[in-house]
Structure 1
Amino acid sequence: MRPPSSAVARTAELRAVAGLSGDRPALLSRYHSSPLKIAKAFSVRAGDARQLAVVQMDGSPGMLEGDRYLFDWRLTDGVHLYATNQSYTRIHPCESGGTAELVQKFDLQAGAVLEWIPEPVMLFRDARFKSETEIDLAEGAVCMISDIFCPGRLSRGEAFAFGSCDSRLTVRCGGELIHYQRQKWEPSSLPLRNSGCFGEYTHVGSFMAFSDLITAAHAEKVREAIAGAHALLPDGVVWGVARLASRGIAVQVAGHAGWKLQKLLMIAWDGVRRELLGLPPLRLIREAWMNGAEENEKAVPGQR
């Protein structure tokens, strides 16, 4: 039995409301506690309209054992928000039996659009991570969300050396549960290299879109967009697109480097913006990863 954790619990919060101020999107209210903060918020062109863009920031070196981050975003009627963070979410070793925990809540009112496209999560050796995301959608709202999990700094021999990773996603539309999933990985208990888990790959990711506006045709268009961009796709990445059982699209990817998965998921994101919203691609953050991986995430020999 694992001994009780001796880590000190620390909670940090970021709460914000995005809405329309006159005819322009803006942050109507915000609250954050250290080390979390909103680094920048600005309005950008989205076709013939404007949307709000926000960059969240973690002023610490990463999440330590006992850290608990709470993100609570509310979008009022008709506002369009793109949000991301400034760097990888790094989960440091949890050697006393505790965890680092991330809780995200997104509440979208009628006609609101959220694009939550964060940088990947990096699980260091002995990291123990819990993630719980809840999304509530009103009629006509659209939520796009992506995630990528990196199993350690491969150049330091940390592939699948983390303690555990437990991720949950709950989505409701009009109060009705339309999607729930849970992934829990414990390398010491389950050989993740099995064909039923990661197989020959080290990194996995997903891009999902939820809305009562989504149809089977949208999923097919996204599949065609990825297949049609074969010249731009990085090598060594596998992918699939599916329409969810109710009001959603899921794109799943696997490969050997986080930046490669980001590149493919960006094509999926562009496809949903174009097919569902009639909007062109949105580019705000650095794209250095388009040409290579981070130093700490170099692939081990034979995997590049």
Structure 2
Amino acid sequence: MIIDAPELAPYQDEPKQLPSGSFGKVASLRLRFDDRGNRSILGFMDRRAPLLVQRALYCDEGMPGLPVVHIISNAGGILQGDRYTMEFVAGPGACGHITTQAATKIHEMDANYASQEQDIILEDGAYLEYLPDPVIPFRHSRFLSRTRIRIAPAATLLYAEILMAGRKYYREGERFQFDLFSSTVRANRPSGAELFVEKFVIEPARSPASRIGIMGDFDVFGNVILLTPREHADAIFDQVPALWDKRENMASGVSRLPNDAGLIYKILGMESGPVRTKVREFWSIVRSQVTGKPVTPEFPWR
């Protein structure tokens, strides 16, 4: 797999162990949700280890007809030379919720890089929540994520990523000691019309992430993208005030995406728990507005 990204130019050397993209280092996952009237189902699944999915669960009491899928990795994290590809499709009128079993750990690297390519397709009237657990980049890790979204005008996608500064409590701490974290999200209509592109590249050795205007004193970055019809976006926008709380060390705010695509909500915090709470609050507003269904309280062990 050849990836055209200039920020990867310094990391083209091969690992001394398995070469990049070799057997066991190329994982793939394809899921499709389909509407069956009283509920949606996981109608198609194709998986290649270390990415695994066992089955869809109907464990959401707020939306009993919503299939919940947990992505499982049996690799213990992402390693140098790994190449992951995922495709999630929600058919007409279908709904689904995708999350992960735990935080995604990007392990320390001394050669090459790891990458993740995601394609998310929502057909007319579909509703999909993709809310994975946080990403933790270890010291000297290099990771590139590219997400391509194709969404019908009447569909809704709630997509979130939470990035940690690193293993801040490991030994003396690894706050922003990774080499590269690059994330691009691109969204289009089925016609090909472009909605927006967002890309951020963090290279702490070149440009310290703890500068004012980037992360400052914060350690956790939450980035939530909501693609939904304008009437929903307007109603949700009015319910999400900006926040600047020095005592709790948190800041958040919502903005409109171009081309009436929806909203983008960003959160900064010191720990993952409060940031996840703000994501959950936003998720609750979105689900209530779009589906009329509630997000139930989080389980105590989460």
* Shorter-normalised TM range: 0.7 to 0.9
Q: Does 1:242 align with 2:255?
A: yes
SS of alignment partner, residue 269 of structure 1:
helix
1:177 CA drift (Å): 1.1
SS of alignment partner, residue 238 of structure 2:
helix
What is the CA–CA distance in structure 1 between the aligned matches of 2:102 and 2:64, rounded to whole Å?
Answer: 28
1:216 CA drift (Å): 2.5
1:151 CA drift (Å): 1.6
Aligned to 2:236: 218
What is the CA–CA distance in structure 1 between the aligned matches of 2:290 and 2:270, rounded to whole Å?
Answer: 30
SS of alignment partner, residue 143 of structure 1:
strand
Residues 236-257 of structure 1 show CA distances to partners (whole Å, capped at 9, x for unaligned) of: 2111112222221111111111
Assess, with a 3 A threshold, how the Cα gap between structure 1 residues 182 and 123 changes in structure 2: closer, same or farther.
same
What is the CA–CA distance in structure 2 between the aligned matches of 1:257 and 1:113, rounded to whole Å?
Answer: 29
Q: Which amino acid aligns with 1:164?
A: L
Residues 52-87 of structure 1 show CA distances to partners (whole Å, capped at 9, x for unaligned) of: 111110111100000011110111110110110000
What is the CA–CA distance in structure 1 between the aligned matches of 2:37 and 2:212, rounded to whole Å?
Answer: 54
Residues 134-175 of structure 1 show CA distances to partners (whole Å, capped at 9, x for unaligned) of: 111113110001111012111122101100001000011343
Task: Note the residue ranges of structure 1 that are not aligned, 5 or more in a row.
Answer: 290-304
What is the CA–CA distance in structure 2 between the aligned matches of 1:185 and 1:88, rounded to whole Å?
Answer: 19
Assess, with a 3 A threshold, how the Cα gap between structure 1 residues 111 and 236 changes in structure 2: closer, same or farther.
same
Residues 209-253 of structure 1 show CA distances to partners (whole Å, capped at 9, x for unaligned) of: 1022434332112338x89xx9xxx92211111222222111111
Aligned to 2:196: 179
Task: Note the residue ranges of structure 2 that are not aligned, 5 or more in a row.
Answer: 1-8
Aligned to 2:6: none
Q: State percent identity of aligned pairs.
A: 25
Residues 188-215 of structure 1 show CA distances to partners (whole Å, capped at 9, x for unaligned) of: 1002121121111121112221022434
Displaced runs of 4+ in structure 1, greater than 6 A?
A: none
1:20 CA drift (Å): 2.4
SS of alignment partner, residue 53 of structure 2:
strand
1:6 to 6, 9, 14: 14
Aligned to 2:76: 61
1:95 to 99, 110, 113: 110
Q: Which has the higher strand share?
A: 1
TM-score, structure 2 normalization: 0.86
The farther-off stretch of 18-27 and 168-177 is 18-27
SS of alignment partner, residue 54 of structure 2:
strand
Preserved contact between residue 235 and residue 289 of structure 2 (Cα < 8 Å): no
Aligned to 2:147: 133
Q: Which amino acid aligns with 1:172?
A: N
Q: Does 1:205 align with 2:222?
A: yes
Assess, with a 3 A threshold, how the Cα gap between structure 1 residues 193 and 3 changes in structure 2: closer, same or farther.
closer
Q: Does 1:144 align with 2:158?
A: yes
RMSD (Å) for aligned C-alpha atoms = 2.4
Aligned to 1:191: 208
What is the CA–CA distance in structure 2 between the aligned matches of 1:188 and 1:33, rounded to whole Å?
Answer: 35
Tell me the matched-pair count: 282
What is the CA–CA distance in structure 2 between the aligned matches of 1:199 and 1:132, rounded to whole Å?
Answer: 25
Preserved contact between residue 176 and residue 204 of structure 2 (Cα < 8 Å): yes
Q: Which amino acid aligns with 1:38?
A: V
What is the CA–CA distance in structure 2 between the aligned matches of 1:95 and 1:116, rounded to whole Å?
Answer: 31
1:40 CA drift (Å): 3.5
What is the CA–CA distance in structure 1 between the aligned matches of 2:239 and 2:267, rounded to whole Å?
Answer: 17
Assess, with a 3 A threshold, how the Cα gap between structure 1 residues 148 and 15 changes in structure 2: closer, same or farther.
same
What is the CA–CA distance in structure 2 between the aligned matches of 1:84 and 1:130, rounded to whole Å?
Answer: 19
What is the CA–CA distance in structure 1 between the aligned matches of 2:288 and 2:197, rounded to whole Å?
Answer: 26
Preserved contact between residue 40 and residue 56 of structure 1 (Cα < 8 Å): no
